[in-house]
Amino acid sequence: MAIKKVLIETIIITLFLLILVGNVSAMDIKDLMNCKDDCADIKTSESRYCLNIYDICKIEADKIMVECSSYTKKEKYTCLTRYRTELKICNDAKRACTKKADSDFNRCVKICLYKDKNITCNNGRYKAGDVFLQDCNQCECLFNGRTSCKSSNYCNYQNISTNRLTCENSSGLYQQLCAGSLYSMKCTSEIYCQCSGNFDYSCPENYTCLKDFFLNNNKKGQFAQGWRKLPEIRIGDVGICVKNPVLNNCGDGICDNLVKDGRVGETYKNCAQDCTITGENTNNKAPTNSSDILS
């Protein structure tokens, strides 16, 4: 309700000024306010979904805490470390989900303002407000007719989480990404199921071994060279296991790379049958206007 109240007050002031200069009709105002009410409803629904997912995750983490109470001192310490790791995964997932809900709401409001302006990008392929995937970037068609792109940490794969048992049963390495000598080793805070490398680690079923990933917004090579298994075993050029998304239309020859209504877009990584590296259809490799992309 608070979101709607602030939104309506802001829009009323804006539209009143537009009426004074004769740019907006009464019907336009009604349509715009209805559109933005819909945006607020969608955000409320998405926020509720984030809380539900967190609650389910927290219940599973709390089961570990109950398990810890039955262990001796040394075993209990290891168990509590596992609990804290799982709880961090829950909190990180909730934070990312909430951030996405905020971003979706802001984009939805912009679309309401410009939906009848017929603004497009990339020679008319995308409409203003469209979000799409290209290579390992997530891009948006802006309301000035240009395209803005930014790199995705995990090449547009959304799910990198798995548990120790699933990872290790698939001959994967379950630990932080670490590099450096024994006395100057640096490790990520996140734990990954790692694959490939000198020991041919592998991923669980329906996962892909991804090497095109970023750490703290830096390409992995800038973070460290020579990954290691704790405490100090060189494991070579490992990747991380990412879960394959469900793509119902993959294989139809059309690169459906739009991100919409929670749907994952296709890329040459997750659907090479349909997409080229530039995001074009495999059955229509027309060149992309690269000068229209801002990084």
- pLDDT tens-digit map of 219-238: 554 444 567 777 668 888 89
pLDDT at 19: 46
Whether the pLDDT of residue 209 is over 90: the answer is yes
List, in sequence order, every residue forming a beta bridge with 151; answer none if it has no partner: 137
pLDDT tier at 26, thresholds 50, 70, 90: low
Domain boundary residue, one of 116, 138, 155: 116
Q: Is 142 within a domain?
A: no
Residue 108 has pLDDT above 60, yes or no: yes
209 against 17, higher pLDDT:
209
Query: Domain boundary at 243, 273, 288, which?
Result: 243
Judge whether 198 lies within some domain: yes
Q: How many domains does the chain have?
A: 2
Q: Are 207 and 242 in contact (CB under 8 A)?
A: yes
**Cβ atoms 25, 69 nearer than 8 A:** no
SS3 263: strand
For the whole model, what pTM was predicted?
Answer: 0.60
pLDDT of 226 reads 63
Domain that holds residue 186: 164-243
Picking from 195, 196, 203, the residue whose alpha carbon sits closest to that of residue 169 is: 203
Q: Is residue 20 part of a domain?
A: yes
What token pair was written down for 44? Answer: 């409320």
**How confident is the model over 178-207, as a mean pLDDT?**
85
**Looking at the structure, do residues 185 and 101 belong to the same domain, yes or no?**
no
* Cα three-residue angle 235-167-182, rounded to 5 degrees: 35
Is residue 293 a part of any domain in this protein? Answer: no
pLDDT digits (tens, 9 = 90+) for 147-165: 999 888 888 888 887 888 8
